[in-house]
């Protein structure tokens, strides 16, 4: 496995070809094993992964504390290479409920102060609001991040799940390193307008849900019991007939994977990488591995080369729009700009 690095957008940091998304280590996919989570972060850093993604609301600070511990206990050379990307702004309640987003400048600075403390770092590498706050112009939210950059607390502005108009307004306010957004074989909504916009403006993409939260990993089975605190128990794509339809797509993908001597997850990750290959490798998948075993599998995607014939076969097996069910329940879909 060779770990290449790419610049995130024209103004962002140099990052590894794959990033590690740490969300599932603290929230949303049922319980995780803390020691294994830290071992996974260490193994990722050891393999040359430099980008760690989190959100202050993943387990209400749990994920940042976890990353902080992993960084503190990593060898100094690895710790110094690590870049932390943080999302803020989600309002939560003690029951785990979601109550909107706060992008007011004073709130941005407060969120940042707490994140720096939990992570145990003196700066955040990329800072972004998780969803647009409809009550606050994006210029004000980005302006507050710019002030944090001037003071040295943040290095780069990022965006998350926003549409072309917001991307343009943000980029007119400050240089934007990357847009974090869902992108996979079965979530291709960014291709028509959003991706051309990021490319025009020199903004990179950090893609999440590359395995559609495990659905197209090749490991998910129709009889898997999901805990009540698992997002997938409410996700339209994981329900009843939708689930069966989507798992049938995975079986079509499995045939291609077998011919390539790769796993289904590796094919799905390699496909996302291939979408940026002609554009200066502007798409960096954030893999959501939370065990060393899954991490090793994900990293193996970097050794998979998809030729034109492979890409055509994949497109045939899983054409754009093939998935059944939206990627979020309706209430959460309302917060993503399309
Ligand atoms: N900006 C946003 O709005 C947003 C939203 C969501 C996530 N994110 C970020 O993106 C990161 C990745 O998202 P995601 O976790 O949904 O991505 P994902 O990679 O699509 O899904 C990860 C899940 O897939 C399963 N899986 C099965 N095989 C795997 C393999 N070989 N490698 C990795 N995972 C495998 C695991 O579930 P099991 O362990 O249950 O098998 C894992 O928890 C998150 O950690 C977070 O940092 C951002």
pTM summary value: 0.97
For residues 292 and 115, give the distance between their C-alpha atoms in angstroms, rounded to a whole number. 26
pLDDT attached to residue 163: 98
The per-residue pLDDT of the chain, averaged, comes to 96
Catalytically active residues, by annotation: 58
> Is the CB of residue 177 below 6 angstroms from any atom belonging to ligand 1?
no
Locate all alpha helices (DSSP H) within the chain, ordered by sequence.
34-46, 62-72, 76-81, 105-119, 138-150, 164-173, 194-201, 240-260, 264-277, 292-299, 308-317, 330-333
Tokens (6 digits) for 89: 């702004």
> Is the CB of residue 86 below 6 angstroms from any atom belonging to ligand 1?
no
For residues 104 and 136, give the distance between their C-alpha atoms in angstroms, rounded to a whole number. 6
Q: For 168-224, what is each residue's pLDDT tens digit?
A: 999 999 999 999 999 999 999 999 999 999 999 999 999 999 999 999 999 999 999
User: From the CA of 286, how far away is ligand 1's center (Å)?
Assistant: 8
Residue in 21, 88, 163, 221 to alter for ligand 1 test, most ligand atoms within 8 A of Cβ: 21
What's the pLDDT band for 322 if we cut at 50, 70, 90?
Answer: very high
Q: List all residues 6 or more positions away from 143 whose beta carbon is below 8 Å from its beta carbon.
A: 105, 173, 174
User: From the CA of 160, how far away is ligand 1's center (Å)?
Assistant: 16
Number of helices (H), then strands (E), in the chain: 12, 12
- Residue 278 — φ and ψ, nearest 5°? -85, 0
User: From the CA of 173, how far away is ligand 1's center (Å)?
Assistant: 31
- Using a 10 angstrom Cβ sphere, with 0-12 exposed, 13-18 middle and 19 or more buried, the burial of residue 89 is buried
Whether the pLDDT of residue 84 is over 90: the answer is yes
Q: For 117-141, what is each residue's pLDDT tens digit?
A: 999 999 999 999 999 999 999 999 9
pLDDT attached to residue 175: 98
> Is the CB of residue 85 below 6 angstroms from any atom belonging to ligand 1?
no
Is residue 113 classed as helix, strand or coil in its secondary structure? helix
């Amino acid at each position: 496995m060779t770990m290449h690095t790419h610049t995130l957008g024209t103004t962002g940091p140099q990052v590894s070809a794959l990033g590690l998304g740490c969300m599932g280590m603290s929230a949303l996919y049922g319980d995780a094993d803390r020691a294994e989570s830290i071992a996974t972060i260490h193994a990722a850093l050891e393999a040359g992964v430099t980008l760690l993604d989190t959100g202050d609301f993943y387990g209400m600070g749990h994920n940042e504390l976890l990353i902080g511990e992993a960084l503190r206990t990593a060898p100094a050379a690895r710790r110094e290479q690590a870049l932390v990307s943080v999302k803020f702004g989600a309002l939560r309640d003690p029951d785990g409920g979601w109550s909107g987003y706060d992008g007011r400048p004073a709130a941005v600075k407060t969120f940042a102060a707490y994140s720096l403390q939990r992570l145990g770092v003196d700066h955040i590498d990329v800072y972004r609001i998780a969803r647009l706050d409809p009550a606050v112009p994006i210029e004000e939210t980005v302006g507050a991040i710019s002030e944090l950059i001037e003071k040295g607390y943040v290095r780069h502005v990022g965006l998350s799940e926003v549409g072309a108009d917001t991307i343009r307004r943000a980029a007119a306010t400050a240089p934007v390193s990357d847009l974090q957004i869902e992108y996979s074989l079965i979530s291709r909504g960014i291709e028509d307008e959003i991706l051309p916009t990021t490319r025009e403006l020199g903004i990179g993409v950090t893609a999440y849900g590359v395995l559609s939260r495990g659905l197209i990993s090749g490991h998910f089975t129709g009889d898997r019991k999901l805990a009540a605190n698992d997002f997938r128990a409410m996700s339209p794509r994981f329900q009843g007939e939708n689930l069966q339809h989507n798992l049938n797509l995975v079986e079509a993908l499995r045939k291609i994977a077998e011919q390539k001597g790769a796993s289904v997850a590796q094919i799905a990750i390699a496909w996302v990488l291939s979408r940026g290959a002609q554009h200066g490798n502007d798409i960096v998948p954030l893999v959501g591995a939370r065990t060393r075993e899954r991490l090793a599998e994900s990293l193996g995607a970097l050794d998979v080369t998809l030729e034109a014939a492979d890409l055509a076969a994949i497109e045939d097996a899983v054409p754009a729009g093939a998935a059944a069910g939206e990627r979020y329940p309706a209430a959460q879909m309302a917060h993503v700009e399309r």
